[in-house]
Structure 1
Amino acid sequence: MIGVLIGIVILAIVAYVGVLAYQQRVRRQVATLTAKKETMVAIPLTDELELVGQLSLTGQSLEQYQQLEDDFTDITENRFTRIDEALTKLTADSRGINLVQLRQDLNKVTLLVSQTDELVQSVQAKLAGLQEVDKQHRQAVHDLEQKYQGLRKTLLAKNFAFGPSIDGLEERLSQLEDNFDTFTRLTQEGDHERAADVLSQLDTDTDELEGLIKAIPPLYKDLTVVYPDQLKELKSGYDQLTSQHFHFGEQDIPQMVTDINNHVTENLETLGDLRPDDAKVVNDRIAKQIDQIYDLMQTEIDAKTPVEKNLDNVAKFIGHAQNQSHALLNELDRLSQNYTLDHQELETARELNEQLRNIDGTYQRDVQDLTGQTATYSVILEHQQQQEKDLQQIEEQQADILKSVAGLADEERQARDTLQQFDFDLHSLRRQVENLNLPGIPQEYLDYFFVVRDEVAQLATDMDQPQINMERITKQLLIIQTDLDTLREKTEDLIDSSQLAEQLLQYANRYQTSHDNVAEASEKAAQLFEHDFQYAQALETIATVLDEVEPGSYKRLEDAYYARKGTAKPKRRTEEE
């Protein structure tokens, strides 16, 4: 029971202390709000209203000022009073214990002070804004007045530099001055909202006029001084060059000058309409056209000297190429009597000769034009440059053709020597086989021999033709050489196998009575040798059985054979080979 009472007492003490702390906090906040309100009161809105009121405002500016006066009255006669009353009440209520109501009242007065502060700041800023706008507009009046005086002075002092644009520029300046008078009146009356709209347009129009005054003089100078002088110089230069018999091909320079003069006149009208951007585009085009005419003239002047210098060189070049062509055609005609030309050498040479005729025809016409003083030097220079390239290419092709056929006679001579050697080799191989006195020749060997013999015979026939196809002959030579090498190997194989087989059959006689397998193998080998003419098989048959009876005997006899023959033992050819 006592513990409960103690707890209640402690809770009461804690609650009391909390109430006292909150009351103290509220009183501190009341003091802060009071100080903030005094700060707002100290702002000299009354003095600022009086200063702005002396500006003789009208229109929207006056309406804004009147609204600020109403806001000021609301602040001083309503809001400040409500704040004082609320703060006084809060101070008194802060001694009570109705903390919920106290908190609500504190929140309300805090919001009221904050809103009033924002309104005070807004009124002060807008009053300062009205003063600043009035100051800016009055300064603008002064600045624009000075600027228009300068523009007027420029137009009066340098009206010659603007040509047909001067009337339009003066009219623009007069319109600006009228608008400036309106701006000045609105500023003096204090109607700064309308004055601001007029000022914005004035700034835009003034910048545009200044841009026109800056852009037009150089354009007008080009159209009235620079271009006319250049066109006059071009006409004089053209007359001088034509008197010296210069020509310009299809370019009609007098008409080009006339066209440019027309563009100049038209562009002056564009400039008079105050369209300098469009006029500049046309001016740039005129300048390029004038440069083009200068370039045309300079091109002809520059071309004259190299054209005259190149005449003899080109003539010699053409003459040399024609001589080369004549000699090449004669040589090809002669060679075509004896040889087949498979790569259109003659046709190509004739085409090159036709190109030379065309080049010479162009050259002769150019010489006539130069002699008749009707030549366009740049055109002839282009002809000469192209002719040198074409002639260089023609001579290179002529040399390639001549080189390709130059060795035909030597190739024929070498081919005939080779054919003779082939025939000799065939007879030599035939005698070697005949000297063996064999019972017969293997059909496979005979077939291959006759193939090679027929190839040699065909080669001899082809080389006895009125026209020899050396390309085909060369291919035949390569084929026959390969086949002849193979026949030579086959002949060696035939000689070696037949000679060895004969020796081994004789050597086997010593074993026939004592070894039935030797007798049987000897009989089979003799059949292959004497009747079937299969000497390699006969050798294989008898050699195999001898190695069984007398190991190493075949190798010993074989080595002795090649030693007597004086050649190295060849690689044993397989049956497929």
Structure 2
Amino acid sequence: MIYFIIPIIVLIIAITIIFMFRRKHIQQVGRLEQEKLQIQHKPILEEMTKVKQLNMTGETEENFERWRNEWTEVMDIHMPKIDSLLFDVEDLVDRFRFGKATEVEKGIQEKILFCDKKMNDILQELNELVGSEEKNRIEMEKLKEQHRAARKTILAHQHSFGMTANPLEKELEAFNPKFDEFDELTDNGNYLLAREIVISLSAKGDRLFEIIHETPSLLAELQNKIPAALRELRNGMKEMEEQSYYLQHLELTDHLDAIESELEELQSKMAELQIESVQQGTSEINDRIDSYYDALENEVTAKHYVDDNHGEIAAKLVEITALTKETSDEAAFVQQSYRLNEQEAQIPQQSLKKLSAIDKRFEMLAGRIEEKVSANSSLQEELQQISEELMQIADEQDSFANRMKNLRIDENNVRTKLEELSRKLQHTDRMLQKGNIPGIPDEMEARLEEADEQIYIVTQSLQEVPLNMSLVDTYLESAEKAVIDVTGKVEELLDNVMLIEWIIQYGNRYRASNPEMHERLLDAEESFRQFRYAKALEEAATAVEEVEPGAMKRIQELVKEHV
């Protein structure tokens, strides 16, 4: 049976493959047929009908004939050829010649692509022609209307255009031949060439109509507004000079003369219709005129400042000079009692030197104000600088005066603090003496002596004349640290002594039953009698804790309750 089954299976597979290839090619033929129909249905004839409504002469007629021939070639030659090839493919597929069918399908695809491109090119050119005609007509009508409106504007407002009227008229007249040429090309069916004229005239018209719109306002700037501003500036300068304002440093006359020359050049450019250059020049001139107004206004403001503040600053100079001399005398007196560092001691004399220099500057400034030969802005700047320097010196003197006042306060504070430290050290010593302890360790005696020595050093430093408070503060800091340290150590020692006594009392309950405990407590008592309190505490605490773990915590709580 196996010899029959295998061939049957192979035959079934072969038939399946054949039908699969056949189905694939049938689908490909259907797709190619659909693409061919899409090409045939392109609206070429409809678009050609639109072209027939145009003037069928010249360029339009030539293009129409070419498009019709190309369309006829595609429809009458290439399409039948494609139909024939499609029948051939179907025949080859029926005869199972799939390889050959594939080659023919590729050829059909190439022809379809060729025809599709040809038809698309025709449609594009047709749309371009029809669209050009419509765009030309709409845009040219708008352009002619703008042209008529521009001519009417110039004729109705000749005075507003001045020297630009004739050049603008010539520019507008140059449009007429182009209008005639456009009409002629349109009448002859040369719509694409006419399109080029429309584009060219539109660009030129946009610029020219903008010039016509801007020219009246620009001329008004050049001929009226700017000259009026220049006259106003000259009159203002004259009035200010009559009021004794010094303005030579501004050189405004030269600047205004230069602007008048520039105005003549800009008007010449206006006659040549160089609008962009004139606009830029006018804007720059207006900016400069604004800056000249600002300069004159600044001089007026500066004069008010000088008039209002000159006397006040003079009085301030006298006041601060007197204050600085008083501070200098006070510093000399204070230095008899207190020592100042070199930098501090020089402050009054340095300030007096600065004030002397400022006084000379102020005298020169007063002369310039009286002579009225200097710009008020310059005088204002100098006055402001002198005022700032005076305020800085005044601040330095206030700070220095406060420093001297604080020296006496600091001395009193040191003496008060020193008395507190002495009392605290005496209290600590009495507390130690009354502590009911076998004796005072040598280390503790040394600490007490050290604290007492530091207090003595502070006391001696307060006897020096002149008094060096910086050094006194340093000594005081050392004394305070020593007293605080010894006080803490004494309190710690007394607490330890009390704790030792409680531990030994607590441990006595174990002496009879625990000989080792007895011996260790004896060692602790011996260390206690030798003033070795830290060692005694360690020995007693260790012995009790070993016999009764946790005992130290209970003993400390008992001591705390007792205290």
Coarse TM-score class (shorter-chain normalised): 0.5 to 0.7
Report the CA distance shift for 1:171/1:447 in structure 2 as closer, same or farther (over 3 A): same
Aligned to 2:558: none
Determine helix, strand or coil for the equivalent of 2:531.
helix
1:467 aligns with 2:466: yes
Aligned to 1:295: 294
Q: For the Cα contact (< 8 Å) 2:60–2:191, is it kept in 1? A: yes
Determine helix, strand or coil for the equivalent of 1:395.
helix
Residues 381-403 of structure 1: CA deviation (Å, up to 9, x unaligned): 34444444444443333222211
- Following superposition, the deviation at residue 287 of structure 1 comes to 0.8
* Aligned 1:268-279 pairs, distance under 5 A: 268-279=267-278
* Aligned 1:304-315 pairs, distance under 5 A: 304-315=303-314
* Aligned 1:248-267 pairs, distance under 5 A: 248=247, 250-267=249-266
Letter paired with 2:181? T
Aligned to 2:7: none
Aligned to 1:243: 242
Aligned to 1:57: 57
Aligned to 2:208: 209
Aligned to 1:338: 337
- Larger mean Cα displacement after TM superposition, 335-344 or 135-144: 135-144
Alpha-carbon distance between aligned partners in 2 of 1:277 and 1:539, rounded to the nearest angstrom: 102
Report the CA distance shift for 1:467/1:187 in structure 2 as closer, same or farther (over 3 A): same
* Aligned 1:504-515 pairs, distance under 5 A: none
Q: For the Cα contact (< 8 Å) 2:441–2:531, is it kept in 1? A: no
Determine helix, strand or coil for the equivalent of 2:196.
helix
Residues 178-202 of structure 1: CA deviation (Å, up to 9, x unaligned): 3222222222333222222222212
Alpha-carbon distance between aligned partners in 2 of 1:153 and 1:328, rounded to the nearest angstrom: 87
Determine helix, strand or coil for the equivalent of 2:246.
coil
- Structure 1: stretches of 5+ with no match in the other structure: 1-36, 91-98, 105-111, 435-439, 498-516, 549-569, 572-577
Report the CA distance shift for 1:181/1:464 in structure 2 as closer, same or farther (over 3 A): same
Alpha-carbon distance between aligned partners in 1 of 2:51 and 2:369, rounded to the nearest angstrom: 97
1:536 aligns with 2:528: no
Q: For the Cα contact (< 8 Å) 1:366–1:375, is it kept in 2? A: no
Alpha-carbon distance between aligned partners in 1 of 2:183 and 2:139, rounded to the nearest angstrom: 9
Residues 260-290 of structure 1: CA deviation (Å, up to 9, x unaligned): 2233233334434433223222221111110
Report the CA distance shift for 1:208/1:465 in structure 2 as closer, same or farther (over 3 A): same
* Aligned 1:334-483 pairs, distance under 5 A: 334-342=333-341, 344-412=343-411, 447=446, 451=450, 454-455=453-454, 458-459=457-458, 461-483=460-482
Determine helix, strand or coil for the equivalent of 2:348.
helix
Alpha-carbon distance between aligned partners in 1 of 2:73 and 2:408, rounded to the nearest angstrom: 129
Report the CA distance shift for 1:257/1:71 in structure 2 as closer, same or farther (over 3 A): same
- Following superposition, the deviation at residue 176 of structure 1 comes to 2.4
Alpha-carbon distance between aligned partners in 2 of 1:539 and 1:396, rounded to the nearest angstrom: 59
- Structure 2: stretches of 5+ with no match in the other structure: 1-39, 88-92, 96-100, 102-110, 434-438, 498-517, 544-561
* Aligned 1:488-499 pairs, distance under 5 A: none
Residues 491-519 of structure 1: CA deviation (Å, up to 9, x unaligned): 9989xx9xxxxxxxxxxxxxxxxxxx99x
Alpha-carbon distance between aligned partners in 2 of 1:363 and 1:340, rounded to the nearest angstrom: 36
What is the TM-score of this pair, normalised by structure 2?
Answer: 0.62
Alpha-carbon distance between aligned partners in 2 of 1:428 and 1:202, rounded to the nearest angstrom: 113
Report the CA distance shift for 1:426/1:284 in structure 2 as closer, same or farther (over 3 A): closer
1:193 aligns with 2:188: no
Report the CA distance shift for 1:182/1:450 in structure 2 as closer, same or farther (over 3 A): same
Report the CA distance shift for 1:413/1:142 in structure 2 as closer, same or farther (over 3 A): closer
Letter paired with 2:301? D
Alpha-carbon distance between aligned partners in 1 of 2:267 and 2:119, rounded to the nearest angstrom: 62
- Following superposition, the deviation at residue 231 of structure 1 comes to 0.6
Q: For the Cα contact (< 8 Å) 2:186–2:194, is it kept in 1? A: yes
Determine helix, strand or coil for the equivalent of 1:338.
coil
Alpha-carbon distance between aligned partners in 1 of 2:407 and 2:387, rounded to the nearest angstrom: 32
Report the CA distance shift for 1:141/1:312 in structure 2 as closer, same or farther (over 3 A): closer
Alpha-carbon distance between aligned partners in 2 of 1:431 and 1:44, rounded to the nearest angstrom: 129
Alpha-carbon distance between aligned partners in 2 of 1:325 and 1:179, rounded to the nearest angstrom: 91
Aligned to 1:565: none
* Aligned 1:2-151 pairs, distance under 5 A: 52=54, 55=55, 57-58=57-58, 60-67=59-66, 70=69, 137=136, 144-151=143-150
Q: For the Cα contact (< 8 Å) 1:452–1:484, is it kept in 2? A: yes
Q: For the Cα contact (< 8 Å) 1:412–1:470, is it kept in 2? A: yes
Letter paired with 1:202? L
Alpha-carbon distance between aligned partners in 2 of 1:441 and 1:129, rounded to the nearest angstrom: 122
Q: For the Cα contact (< 8 Å) 2:132–2:191, is it kept in 1? A: yes
Letter paired with 2:343? Q
Percent of residue pairs bearing the same amino acid type: 19
Aligned to 1:222: 221
Report the CA distance shift for 1:462/1:187 in structure 2 as closer, same or farther (over 3 A): same
Alpha-carbon distance between aligned partners in 2 of 1:44 and 1:289, rounded to the nearest angstrom: 67
Report the CA distance shift for 1:452/1:176 in structure 2 as closer, same or farther (over 3 A): same
Alpha-carbon distance between aligned partners in 2 of 1:539 and 1:116, rounded to the nearest angstrom: 117
Residues 446-496 of structure 1: CA deviation (Å, up to 9, x unaligned): 6556645654554455444443211211322343355457678999989xx
Alpha-carbon distance between aligned partners in 1 of 2:155 and 2:376, rounded to the nearest angstrom: 53
Residues 387-421 of structure 1: CA deviation (Å, up to 9, x unaligned): 44444443333222211221324544665687799
Larger Rg: 1
Aligned to 1:24: none
Alpha-carbon distance between aligned partners in 2 of 1:483 and 1:347, rounded to the nearest angstrom: 36
Aligned to 1:286: 285
Q: For the Cα contact (< 8 Å) 2:338–2:468, is it kept in 1? A: yes
Q: For the Cα contact (< 8 Å) 2:441–2:532, is it kept in 1? A: no
Report the CA distance shift for 1:404/1:153 in structure 2 as closer, same or farther (over 3 A): same
Letter paired with 2:192? E
Alpha-carbon distance between aligned partners in 2 of 1:256 and 1:219, rounded to the nearest angstrom: 21
Q: For the Cα contact (< 8 Å) 1:49–1:69, is it kept in 2? A: no
